[in-house]
Structure 1
């Protein structure tokens, strides 16, 4: 049986992947605060957090695509895909936890999304999120490490 933290993160990823903005917003407390330390941004409240997901470049109306497949949108100038999220690991004790997700972005790149968070009443009250792209291991480290496969497979 999945833990509370696994279940919560699965619901969060599903809401983002389905672009169910109402469900996403409902997962956050009214006084939610999210931090992105790498860019220095602080998100106050569920409406602002929702707007970041809802207005991500490439977002389309829900009824224009089969949301079970890759999402693609077009303008006359370019094609854009919305990001997709996969929970890799989620653990916690009590109301404090962390999650590791992989996110595929519109340019085709895959990034790790690492989130340290606090739940309150089963909803996200606080989060600190880090974003990191996948990268190839440098040659000099090869004698000292096990390589798990191509970057795209991790």
Structure 2
């Protein structure tokens, strides 16, 4: 699969995620795909289970913003922010492709935190 084709599939996937279109969102995954959530120690086996899990989330996202997509070959990384009830989480998604479908995804979730004042002289805010 070409770099352009993977990028198009990722754009469609994240657009479907943001709009709540579960069928389109999960079209990117191979039937036996695995998705890992390392922070909670969970592994989701199969596209159907992943779609069911996401479809049963008690809240709908109140915000979704893709910050960056970058990849090469079969390994692609997306950084995005998703908000539930107005509370944002920063997410990194690492997707591994085979034959044009995602076979493994790892997602890391992080709540934002206030920057400490002691380092302000060396940093600038991210827009």
| TM-score, structure 1 as length reference | 0.73
Deviation at 1:143, TM superposition (A): 1.7
For 2:26 and 2:49, how far apart are their aligned partners in 1? 9
For 2:49 and 2:39, how far apart are their aligned partners in 1? 18
CA shift in 2, pair 1:24/1:147, >3 Å = closer
Work out which of the residue numbers 106, 118, 122 in structure 2 matches 1:140: 118
Rg comparison, structure with higher value: 1
Work out which of the residue numbers 62, 65, 68 in structure 2 matches 1:89: 68
Deviation at 1:55, TM superposition (A): 0.8
RMSD: 1.7
Deviation at 1:124, TM superposition (A): 1.2
Partner of 2:79, secondary structure, is strand
For structure 2, the residue ranges without an aligned partner over 5 or more in a row are none
For 2:91 and 2:4, how far apart are their aligned partners in 1? 20
Structure 1 consecutive aligned stretches of length 4 or more whose deviation exceeds 3 Å: 2-6
For structure 1, the residue ranges without an aligned partner over 5 or more in a row are 59-81, 149-153
Deviation per CA, 1:52-102, whole angstroms, max 9, x where unpaired?
2211103xxxxxxxxxxxxxxxxxxxxxxx114222111111111111011
1:117 — aligned with what? Answer: 95
Partner of 1:137, secondary structure, is coil
Q: Is the 8 A contact 2:13 2:26 kept in 1?
A: no
Matching of residues 54-93 of structure 1 within 5 Å: 54-58=55-59, 82-83=60-61, 84-93=63-72
Normalized per residue, the structure richer in strand is 2
For 1:110 and 1:6, how far apart are their aligned partners in 2? 25
1:46 — aligned with what? Answer: 47
Aligned length: 124
Deviation at 1:4, TM superposition (A): 4.1
CA shift in 2, pair 1:136/1:4, >3 Å = farther
For 1:11 and 1:117, how far apart are their aligned partners in 2? 14
